[in-house]
Structure formats: C-alpha cells, structure tokens
Amino acid sequence: MIVEAAPAKINLALHVRHRRADGYHEIETLFAFARDGDVVSVEASGAPSLEIVGPFASNLNAGADNLVTRAAAAFAAATGIDAEHRIRLDKRLPIASGIGGGSADAAATLRALSRLHGVALDDPRIGAVAAGLGADVPACLSGRTAFGSGRGDALSALDGLGGTPLLLVNPGVAVSTAAVFAGWDGVDRGGIPDGALLARARQGRNDLETVARRVAPAIAAVRDLLDAAPGVRLARMSGSGATCFALFADDGARDAAAEAAAARGWWTLATALA
C-alpha cells in the first residue's frame, strides 16, 4: 500500500488580473502548504473501489465525478497502465473551503499511483493530467511554496517559511468557487510585488475576499479574531474561502488563537507551514 499526504493549500496572496477567453481567470498567487491535511492510500486490487472515511466523509460521494476517481482514471488513460486499485481517502479538511482539499486529494492520488507503478513524478504525462484536473492541482502535485500565474498552474518555486506556526479556521460554511469568481468586480488592482516571501504576502491581498464575505458573512468574524490575536504575523482568507489562515510568531500564540476559535464552534487546524 502507498500512503500519500494531501496537505492543505493556502494562498498567502491571491490577485485576480482579468478573465480569460477560456473562462478561467488570470491570477497571481503565492502558494504555500501546511504540514497536515487529508491522506490518500492506494493499493493494487482485483476490484476498483474508493472508500471515503474521516470527519468530512459524509459530504462527499465516491462516484465517477470525485476528483480522486477522476485522477485515477486520467492516470490510467495517460500512462496506458491497465490496473485496478483500491483507494482510501481520509477526508480531514472541510469541503469547498478554499484550501485545495479536492485538488490536494487528486494530486496525492497521482503521486501514489506514480510511486506504485514506477512512473517519475516529473513525467510530462503526469503534469498534463494534473493540469487537466484543475488549476490548483499542479501546485498541489509539487507541494512546494511557489509563485503561481496564468490559471495558477504556471509555477516558479520560492524559498518558503517552513516551520512557521500556522492556524487554519473555517466557520463551517461551504463557499462555491465559481460563485465567488463570478462576483469579482473585474478590476485589475495590480500584481504581487517582488521581495522576500513574507513581505510579498503582507503587501499583497486576496481579491476574492470581499465577494466571499458577501456570500459567507462569518468570514468577517473569523478575520476579526485572527487579526486581533497576539503574535499574529499575517492573517488572510485563503482561496475563495471560507477558510482563513494566520501565521504566528510561535506555537503558543497559535494555540491560544486556536482555542479561541474552537470556543466559537469553528473548525480549526493548528499546524505549521511545510
């Protein structure tokens, strides 16, 4: 059995530049990854199956439209490897929450299948499959801090902030990525500046947060709590929401903020940047 982590993705900054002719949006983003997230396990089997377990399993179905199932089918089609697999997804991250859960799961599935069948992860066929599954999947496939442009799938590796205490908070609200992008006002407010990663992130923004707050007003309450937390270095909404994140100076400050968020009934994950 091959076991692959599917860590949460965060957008330290997310600038939307314009809508493209293909329906996607041209963006600039700073991708980073948590140390924790979902877990995907894959093994060869005489009968293909997808089992979903974990605290958020009930919100997903294991049908053909699941990104894990689609990743497995696309891997087989691209590589010509005719094999059946038993796949287990331990769903620990909330659904439709702006932290790349489905994309991370698809990427972990591709990594696991590649390891199982001896396919190099930098094989162009795997990269093409990842890009075809979704704009965030290539970043999740690499799992490295990166600057993303284009749809978010043109990646340049960056020196990260590995080990920085990280808190994720979700108020228990699912937000539609399509609805949030559709509500973007179309104003190009400029790109992400150059410089050291944390400075770039602080000077940046998330252009989707204003829209997401209209869809899910609880985001504002989460941001208020995180912004006011002692020891916070940066707080922002990730992706299209509703999950927000905060980077902290130390574990104690992070854990205190996590306790305060959990006391409100919100989902929290106290972790660190990978």
Active site residues: 9, 136
Torsion angle of C-alpha atoms 272, 38, 148, 142, degrees rounded to 10: 90
Whole-model pTM: value is: 0.96
pLDDT the model gives residue 142: 96
pLDDT at res. 59: 85
pLDDT of residue 210: 97
Amino acid type, 70: R
**For residue 64, what are its two tokens?**
């053909």
What's the pLDDT at 221?
Answer: 98
Q: Could you give all domains of the chain from N- to C-terminal order, each with its CATH number?
A: 2-157 (3.30.230.10), 165-272 (3.30.70.890)
pLDDT at 46: 86
In whole angstroms, what is the distance from residue 143 CA to residue 264 CA? 31
CA 87 from centre of chain: 20
Q: Which of 89, 177, 74, 62 is nearest to 132 (CA)?
A: 74
pLDDT at 212: 97
Name every residue whose Cβ is closer than 8 Å to that of residue 217 and which is 6 or more positions away in sequence: none
Predicted confidence pLDDT, tens digits, the chain (274 residues): 999 999 999 999 999 999 999 888 999 999 999 999 999 999 999 889 999 999 999 989 999 999 999 999 999 999 999 899 999 999 999 999 999 999 999 999 999 999 999 999 999 999 999 999 999 999 999 999 999 999 999 999 999 899 999 999 999 998 999 999 999 999 999 999 999 999 999 999 999 999 999 999 999 999 999 999 999 999 999 999 999 999 999 999 999 999 999 999 999 999 999 9
